[in-house]
Structure 1
Amino acid sequence: MLKTILIKAKKREALGKSATKKLRNDGFVPCVFYGGKEHIHFYAPMISFRELVYTHDAHKVELNIDNNKFNAILQDITFHPVNESITHADFLEISEEKPITIDLPVNVTGSAPGILKGGKLFIKMRRLKVKALPSSLPEHITIDINNLDLGMSVHIKDLNIPGLTFLENSLNAVISVQIPRLLKLAEEVAVTAATTATPVEGEPVAEGAPAKPGAPATPATATAPATDAAKGKDKGKEKGKEKGKK
């Protein structure tokens, strides 16, 4: 269930750039509350936002504007581009009977076997958009990774949290354990080396090559020696040539 943070505030009497600038210089944050009937412009001390903004979890907010209480959630917030101070905040009224849409942070628990084998954990979606009644909203979405091995992922469709409707694509991977490039390359090299070193069954052996264990050697082709008859014919031809020269 969402934790509730109290913010005491005052309604703004003056609007405009100069009034807004003065509020910021005095350490206040200009805000707008979007309720059912009207929008309320108010301001609150910047220190009141510390628990709400600088945290990983989602929260409900109880706004006390001039002693009038409203239940809300932080809808939007802007920061100064240089000093990162809060420059503006928008709040949206909530009702326990009406579902709201909100982004919830992802929290990981457990130890993935794939990491112990050299894999790397990737959190691909750090916040998930959900729809639920305020009473059903958790501070964060906890995902157990104790069963994640190398190459495995947790998708939106794998998440089953009572009371929550996920508005993301059901096929989107939230968390995955991927094989690092160097580890994958080492595996490919090992497989290639094993394939090269192991002879393929039935592979022909070159002539004159040593036989494989248990296989007969293939005889090398030898040149047959000349017969005596052939030698006599050659000698007769040589004598005939000598007589012709005389």
Structure 2
Amino acid sequence: MSQEYRYTLNGKLRQDKGKGASRRLRREGWVPAVVYGGEGESISIAIKQDELAKNAKFDSFYSQIINLKIEGKEDTEVLVRDVQRHVFKPLFQHFDFQRIVRGQDIYSTVSLHFINEDEAPGVKEENGVITHFYTSVEIVCQPRHLPEYIEVDMGSLSIGDGVYLSDLKLPEGVSLQQDENLDSTLVASIGHPRLEEEEEEESDAQAIEDLIEGEGDAEDGDAESSDDASDE
């Protein structure tokens, strides 16, 4: 393939299947995976844990077309469709990859990159607070149009302003999967500082602490009175 890829993975075919075989692979530093869709049958493969970890630290790994080499012989274009992680260890347990067919639309989730937030009048001049309601969006496009991310420029917003789905500047050939309520679905907004609310919360928390301490003192006093009574 002549196209340049940002991500390339190397896998090997899995002959043994089942939980026992998967556990053995993981102990040896491999991650079980499956490749499906497109014009081929589903196949079971394994990829080195270290190789996945090196690539998966980038957000775009989960939305960009990956060149998958199997046994060093086949080149397959795939997208990450599902990832299973260990409950508490920083390890991958399983990957699902979907084949890409050139000329057919693909559905993907792409990260939003917010820019110029510190320069927004609502932040720089009015000390407003930015809230992100979305950090990614679901899109549909041809493989050649798949973006690495979508920029959201916050530089002109004041307090009370927001960016809606309909405001997103989508690259050529890209559209949102969601086609309803685009004008009323907020992506991000700038609101008033929460200082007064935080002060009220701190005051409430202090009142609760004082109440607890007061009850504790009262219980100590009751215990002392009881001890005095028993001494008598």
Q: TM-score, normalised by structure 1?
A: 0.70
Matching of residues 118-197 of structure 1 within 5 Å = 118-161=127-170, 162-168=172-178, 169-170=181-182, 171-182=184-195
Give the whole-Å Cα distance in 2 for the aligned partners of 1:112 and 1:163.
29
C-alpha deviation, 1:3, in angstroms: 5.1
Give the whole-Å Cα distance in 1 for the aligned partners of 2:77 and 2:128.
44
Give the whole-Å Cα distance in 2 for the aligned partners of 1:146 and 1:23.
49
Give the whole-Å Cα distance in 2 for the aligned partners of 1:5 and 1:29.
17
Deviations for 1:191-235, whole angstroms, at most 9, x for unmatched residues?
Answer: xxxxxxxxxxxxxxxxxxxxxxxxxxxxxxxxxxxxxxxxxxxxx
C-alpha deviation, 1:47, in angstroms: 1.3
C-alpha deviation, 1:9, in angstroms: 0.7
Structure 1 contact 130–164 (Cα < 8 Å) conserved:
yes
Q: Does 2:70 match 1:65?
A: yes
- Which amino acid counterpart does residue 87 of structure 1 have in structure 2? Q
Which structure: larger Rg? 1
> For 2:190, what is the secondary structure of its paired residue?
strand
Q: Does 2:114 match 1:108?
A: yes
Give the whole-Å Cα distance in 2 for the aligned partners of 1:151 and 1:184.
17
Structure 2: gaps of 5 or more residues: 199-232
Structure 2 contact 102–143 (Cα < 8 Å) conserved:
yes
C-alpha deviation, 1:183, in angstroms: 6.6
C-alpha deviation, 1:51, in angstroms: 4.1
The residue number in structure 1 matching 2:101 is 95
> For 1:50, what is the secondary structure of its paired residue?
helix
Give the number of equivalent residue pairs: 184
Q: Point out the structure with the larger helix share.
A: 2
C-alpha deviation, 1:175, in angstroms: 1.2
Give the whole-Å Cα distance in 1 for the aligned partners of 2:157 and 2:76.
43
**Greater CA drift, 173-182 or 152-161:** 173-182
Q: Does 2:45 match 1:42?
A: yes
- Which amino acid counterpart does residue 56 of structure 2 have in structure 1? V
C-alpha deviation, 1:160, in angstroms: 2.9
Cα RMSD over matched residues?
A: 1.9
Give the whole-Å Cα distance in 2 for the aligned partners of 1:105 and 1:142.
9
Give the whole-Å Cα distance in 1 for the aligned partners of 2:195 and 2:21.
58
C-alpha deviation, 1:181, in angstroms: 3.5
Q: TM-score, normalised by structure 2?
A: 0.75
The residue number in structure 2 matching 1:82 is 88
Give the whole-Å Cα distance in 1 for the aligned partners of 2:29 and 2:132.
36
Deviations for 1:110-149, whole angstroms, at most 9, x for unmatched residues?
Answer: 1211001110011110111011111111111111111111
Is the alpha carbon distance of 1:184 and 1:158 closer, same or farther for their aligned partners in structure 2, counting shifts above 3 Å? farther
Determine what percentage of the aligned residue pairs are the same residue: 25
Matching of residues 3-18 of structure 1 within 5 Å = 4-18=6-20
C-alpha deviation, 1:96, in angstroms: 2.4
The residue number in structure 1 matching 2:228 is none
Give the whole-Å Cα distance in 2 for the aligned partners of 1:4 and 1:90.
19
